[in-house]
Amino acid sequence: MGKLGAGLAGGLTLNVAMLLTFRLLGFGWTGGGVLLASPLQSGKFIAVWTQLEPLPKIVAAPAPMLIGLLLFGCVHAAIYDWLAPHWPTGVTARAIRFAGLNFVLAYVFFEFFAPFNLFGEPLVLVALELIFWLIVATAEAFVIASIAERARRHSVPGLQTPA
């Protein structure tokens, strides 16, 4: 399956994990999720997601965003492939490191810069979103690491596992 397979599976995992956390719990299928319905939520945040035109692409026309997440999965798999040989062996050790790296460099930065800074979202809701992002990052990292490590074992002579 290799790098491309790991990337596509990682991108699919990004889509599904975001659907289950942000869409189902955070925003709700019809807009009644905790991130929109909380009395603590910033009016600016709610307006950006529900009123200000154009609405975010993920809401109005999600296909390009879903495809983009598949591509991010491929980029993440390539980065994983580059870094993993420098980490302790094993899917769990490598997946945890990769999830932590993605979480801190992408998701914590994003939450600090956009929802907290631009939209005035309260810290308690930013913290909830960070929990969602941690789930997303961890799920993607374990999928990529599992597939990449299996491919690595099969491509290195002497490391093949019995069928």
CA pair distance 145, 163, nearest whole angstrom: 20
Q: Is residue 85 part of a domain?
A: yes
Q: Is residue 123 part of a domain?
A: yes
Residue labelled with tokens 């807009």: 31
Q: Is residue 162 part of a domain?
A: no
Domain containing residue 142: 2-155
Q: Is residue 163 part of a domain?
A: no
Q: Is residue 160 part of a domain?
A: no
pLDDT at 2: 83
Number of domains in the chain: 1
- Model pLDDT for residues 6-43, shown as the tens digit of each residue: 999 999 999 999 999 999 999 999 889 999 999 999 99
- Model pLDDT for residues 58-80, shown as the tens digit of each residue: 999 999 999 999 999 999 999 99
- Model pLDDT for residues 104-120, shown as the tens digit of each residue: 999 999 999 999 999 99
Q: Is residue 161 part of a domain?
A: no
Q: Is residue 112 part of a domain?
A: yes
Q: Is residue 136 part of a domain?
A: yes
